[in-house]
Amino acid sequence: MHLTDDDFLKTIKNTPLISIDLVISDSSGRYLLGLRRNRPAADYWFVLGGRIKKGEAISDAFKRVAENELGVTLQSSKAKFIGVYEHFYKDSFYDIMTPTHYVVLAYSIELDHDINSFSVAQHSKYKWFDIVDLLASPDVHQYTKNYFLDKGLEDNENSSFF
């Protein structure tokens, strides 16, 4: 089922959206963030992610989001489920007046890949962050920081995420 833009805007105004966020680490323990181009959270460093479409299995959404955000194929079977989070924004990708509520399924996965080969459709650039820099940066969105703070990693920069 495909919604018209008007119907989807009504959905955003009246219901939460379900999405997947990918907390991607490399073998050095750094975490991949993208500088968002679009609302919500435009111009912030953020983990990669996207919404789940009606009728789409979570595993299919996981694969699609990775391909759309990075241009690489990732399998949900290789990821670890972190938990369920909520993100509330005062704006949406439609306009600055429509608030958005996301119910987010967060997953961690390791990927060693050259960031210069990633797609720039959703993010203007990518960067690998260590935990200390990620948590200290005012340009990293708080919702991204929460994935790390909720695991108590702010106290130990040498700790692995999971």
Contact predicate 54/119, CB 8 Å? no
Count CB-CB contacts under 10 A for residue 160: 9
Cα separation, 161 vs 90, whole angstroms: 30
Cβ contacts of 3 within 8 Å, gap of 6 or more: 11, 54
The reply to whether 152 sits in an annotated binding site is no
Query: What values do phi and psi take at 7, rounded to 5?
Result: -65, -40
The reply to whether 71 sits in an annotated binding site is no
The reply to whether 67 sits in an annotated binding site is no
Count CB-CB contacts under 10 A for residue 149: 13
Contact predicate 129/46, CB 8 Å? no
| Structure-block tokens of residue 87 | 């993100």
Annotated binding-site residues for Mg(2+) read: 49, 69, 122
Annotated binding-site residues read: 49, 69, 122
